[in-house]
Copies of this chain bind each other. A is one copy, B any other.
Amino acid sequence: MLNEKMYALGNKRSVIREIFEYAKKRGGEIGKENVFDFSIGNPSVPAPEEVNQTIKKLVDETPSVELHGYTSAQGDKRVRDTIAANLCKRFGAKISGDDLYMTCGAAASLTITFHALKEDGDEFITFAPYFTEYKVFVEGAGASLKALDSDRNLQPDFAALEKAITPKTKGVLINSPNNPSGVVYGVKTIQTLAEILKKKSEEYGKPIFLIADEPYRELVYDKETVVPFLMNYYKNSIVCYSYSKSLSTPGERIGYIAVNPEADNAKGVYAAVCGAGRALGYVCAPALFQRVAAACDGLTADLSVYKRNRDLLYRGLTACGFECVYPDGAFYLFMKAAGNDAYAFCERAKKYELLLVPADDFGCKGYVRIAYCVQTQTIERALPLFEKLAKEYGL
């Protein structure tokens, strides 16, 4: 009597949610401050002041019917023009507001994009480790997801990619800075990806899209770390952005899809995006927050906390003998599970009230994800416990 797939999706909590709920329960038992919850990627830093200032200004100065009324389906024209102008300025992009489609955040950007592109039998390729919901979104659009292993540094395995692309490949999905690894793809990586996709597109006589999921674009911590802007390297590219992490507003659901105007049949792709948004019930992105996004585009919450957390955690854990991937961005640290069984390792960590996420669901066995979007104090107090855990494993 129901859609069994939807039932299964709604009935099964994600591993992350399970741990998050456990943390709440355990906090009730022994005190919140004694539970070290590294499970959830919920920004711990307030939104930049401009967010709330803009909200109040808009409420005070804009007529209600205009402020809270429908915008056009693709988003308010001035909002799109402002954001496009910023992208041109920041990245030398050559796009206009007519190439942007405002969305209810990154998940909406992705589902709309997959629905817009998908033809019968299509598949999308991504690299492990990858955000678990990609599979849900791609399969929800009626396509299939093929996840390839990355190389030792968690960069794409180019040879594997060349082999994996078939005439059914509609696109390759990348996520840099990466959830769950924190790894960033540099210019050379993007150039090589672009070369492969160009070659394969020509070989099969059809475009293979490069799709970027970029909620962590601004969350990088070293001067030399650059997140290349996709459109400057590959014409058939689509950027899915969200303000959730940059502005610390994940609950407000605001982001955009940028379709490269140089893509093959770019106007057609954009129309299909509009159609998919319509079919999925996205009438328009939230009107007030469209304007907040335009006013605050390019700003970030105070990232120094995340940088401090990263440095402290990376130094502390490697000093304990743990093998960690150095995270250039996002707010996740990817660590080898001592003993190689991530589930067993997380269970043992739990004894010390350290709540980590086994990365098997991210397509990468034997690792754990540690979300360091927490209070710095939490990390300071957790490190001695990690040390005890390391000793248990003889590190």
Contacts and interface: CB of A to CB of B under 8 A. Distances in A.
B286 A253 contact: yes
Could you tell me the dominant secondary structure of chain A's interface residues? helix
- Interface size range of chain A in the complex: 35 or more
A140 B273 contact: no
Contacts of A5: 275, 279
A10 B259 CA distance: 14
Contacts of A206: 1
Contacts of A264: 1
A275 B65 contact: no
B59 A269 contact: no
Copy count, this protein chain? 2
B46 A2 contact: no
B251 A68 contact: yes
A253 B254 CA distance: 12
A118 B3 contact: yes
A280 B116 contact: no
Contacts of A107: 281-283
A252 B104 CA distance: 11
A309 to B, nearest CB: 15
19 contacts: A2-B116, A2-B265, A6-B115, A6-B279, A7-B272, A9-B275, A9-B279, A10-B271, A11-B271, A11-B274, A42-B70, A46-B63, A46-B65, A55-B59, A64-B248, A68-B247, A104-B283, A104-B286, A250-B283
